[in-house]
Amino acid sequence: MQTQVAANIFWVGCVDWGVRDFHGYKTERGSTYNAYLILAQKNALIDTVKASRAADLLANVRAHLPLEQIDYIICNHAEPDHAGALPETVKACPNAAVVCNAKCQDALARHFDTTAWKWHIVKDTETLSLGNKTLQCFDTPMVHWPESMVTYLQEDAVLFSMDAFGQHYASSARFDDEADLSEVMQEAKTYYANIVLPYGRPVATALGRLGALKLAIVAPSHGVIWRSHFNAILAAYQSWATCTPAKKIVILFCSMWDSTRRMARAIEVGATHPGIEVKVIDVATTSDTVIVTDIMDCAAFAAGSPTLNSGIMPRMAATLTYLRGLKPKGKSCLAFGSYGWAPKNIGELTHYLAEMEATPVCDPISCRFAPGPDTLEACRAAGGALAAVARSTPSPTA
Ligand code: FEO
């Protein structure tokens, strides 16, 4: 496995081939926890890995130098997938100071017993000399936690970008040009939708600041390192940060006895027009990880559930709870579904959609038991209204 990132810079992280659930995010292609070693007059380790993989990290570092020769451990982010191995690493590197910002120091102290740690606290844009190399730290709050920062190696133009530009993607490839780029971009999109989506404004701010840097290599904390296709992921981030809609409609539904599914099908028929992508998703058989990734770049979506026990079906409630938390911006919407004797579903669906600040394209559509011709016609018309929204979105520039 290629682990040299640039002259005297090495990947020392670990590949987690088996992880399939990352605090609820379904990581179907596994993940990596990237850490990097910079060999200079002062040696620096950039980030660690999750706690259970500390031994792998330390073995990878030891392959380059004795742990006593580590001078700095940079902690860009306190989340345990990167800082979990920090206590064991600090213990194993007796001469190292932990470099982080004040918010990160506080977060680490609330996770671990840090009383014996040596610290070097940095402020936004502050530099740290490694003798013949210079690190510069930039605060990137809420990308992904409040204490998040990125670290830039000035002489080599390498940005250690932490979660930004990452992907949950296990691979023997360490670089973007060694992997299947379409897979990498899909995983980067999934990552953004499930982790970064609520923080579009901080992301845009960070992109604006970091865009001024000369960048030869962008090395995130997950997935492949960008050295050949950074412009592709940067353009994608600029689009995702503003939740730029595609000419795309997503119809989410769940069904008990086929009535709500038939309504979804009628909406699909009404929405289907040339040049518009329509996706129909049964939430009972699709993970929320996939669903939010599709919702992120749609222009409009519909959510349908029958009434169950005075509410909606639990899988739809879970999906809408997940979407409400991630809050994809600027979406148009439609609520629909059938009921038996208590039309409770529509009120609950519309409540979720309102909390997502989605804009209804028309009144909700409901029917008692099976949909008749009038209901199906109303569904087709509502599908047409969704299509009109999608049609009116600007075409992407080439
Ligand atoms: Fe990969 Fe926010 O940690």
pLDDT in tens, 33-82: 999 999 999 999 999 999 999 999 999 999 999 999 999 999 999 999 99
Fold held by 4-241: Metallo-beta-lactamase; Chain A (3.60.15)
pLDDT bucket at 384, cuts 50 / 70 / 90: very high
Average model confidence (pLDDT) for the chain?
96
Ligand 1 near 265 CB (within 6 A)? no
> Are the CB atoms for 391 and 247 separated by under 8 Å?
yes
Contact, 126 vs 137, CB < 8 A?
Answer: yes
Answer whether 81 contacts ligand 1 (Cβ < 6 A). Answer: yes
Per the CB < 8 A criterion, the answer to whether 125 and 184 are in contact is no
Ligand 1 centroid to residue 140 C-alpha, Å: 13
The pLDDT of residue 396 is 62
| Per-residue tokens: 371 | 């949909």
**According to the model, what pLDDT value does residue 200 have?**
85
CB 51 within 8 A of CB 78: no
Mean pLDDT of 162-183: 97
Decide whether any atom of ligand 1 lies within 6 Å of the 77 Cβ.
yes
Q: What is the pLDDT of residues 276-331, one digit of tens each?
A: 999 999 999 999 999 999 999 999 999 999 999 999 999 999 999 999 999 999 99
Residue 1 confidence (pLDDT) = 67
What is the model's pLDDT at position 243? 85
Q: What is the 98 CA–ligand 1 centroid distance (Å)?
A: 18
Please say if the pLDDT value at position 104 is more than 90. Answer: yes
Q: Is the CB of 32 under 6 A from ligand 1?
A: no
Which tens digits make up the pLDDT trace of 177-232?
A: 999 999 999 999 999 999 999 898 898 898 888 888 999 999 999 999 999 999 99
Class of domain 249-388: alpha beta
- CA of 222, closest atom in ligand 1: 1
For residue 309, give both structure tokens: 């026990």
This prediction's pTM: 0.95
Give me the half-sphere count of Cα atoms (radius 13 Å) on the Cβ side of residue 201: 2
Report how far residue 68's alpha carbon sits from residue 96's, in angstroms, rounded to the nearest whole number.
Answer: 8
Using the mean position of ligand 1's atoms as its centre, give its distance from the Cα of residue 192 in Å.
11
Tell which residue, 283, 303, 306, 302, has the closest CA to residue 369. Answer: 306
Q: With H, G, I as helix, E, B as strand and everything else as coil, classify residue 271.
A: helix
Q: Look at residues 32, 13, 21 and name the one whose alpha carbon lies nearest to residue 171.
A: 32
CB 222 near ligand 1, within 6 Å: yes
- When pLDDT is averaged across residues 111-122 and rounded to a whole number, the result is 98
pLDDT band at 258 (very low <50, low <70, confident <90, very high): very high
CA of 172 to the centre of ligand 1 (A): 21
Q: Given this model, what pLDDT does residue 398 score?
A: 38
Confidence of residue 391 (pLDDT cuts 50, 70, 90): very high
Structure tokens at 398: 């080439």
Q: How far apart are CA 284 and CA 302, in angstroms?
A: 15
Interval 94-118 mean pLDDT: 98
Pairing of strands 365-368, 332-339: parallel
Distance 348 CA to ligand 1 centre (A): 33
Q: Report helix, strand or coil for 153.
A: strand
- Amino acid identity at 392: S
Q: Where are the chain's structural domains?
A: 4-241, 249-388
For the annotated catalytic residues, the residue numbers are 23, 77, 79, 81, 144, 163, 191, 222
Question: Contact at 8 Å (CB) between 122 and 100?
Answer: yes
Buried b (16+ CB within 10 A) or exposed e, 303-332: bbbbbbeebbbebbbebbebbbebebbebb
> In angstroms, rounded to a whole number, what is the distance separating the alpha carbons of residues 281 and 251?
6
155 backbone dihedrals φ, ψ, rounded to 5°: -65, -30
Q: Cα–Cα distance between 331 and 299 in angstroms, integer?
A: 6
Q: How far is CA 142 from the centre of its chain?
A: 12
Query: Is the CB of residue 221 below 6 angstroms from any atom belonging to ligand 1?
Result: yes
Q: Which atom of ligand 1 is nearest to the CA of 148?
A: 2
Which residues pair with residue 119 across a beta bridge? Answer: 98
**pLDDT tens digits for 5-15?**
999 999 999 99
Q: Residue 367 — very low, low, confident or very high, per pLDDT cuts 50/70/90?
A: very high
pLDDT of residue 201: 87
> How confident is the model over 328-335, as a mean pLDDT?
96
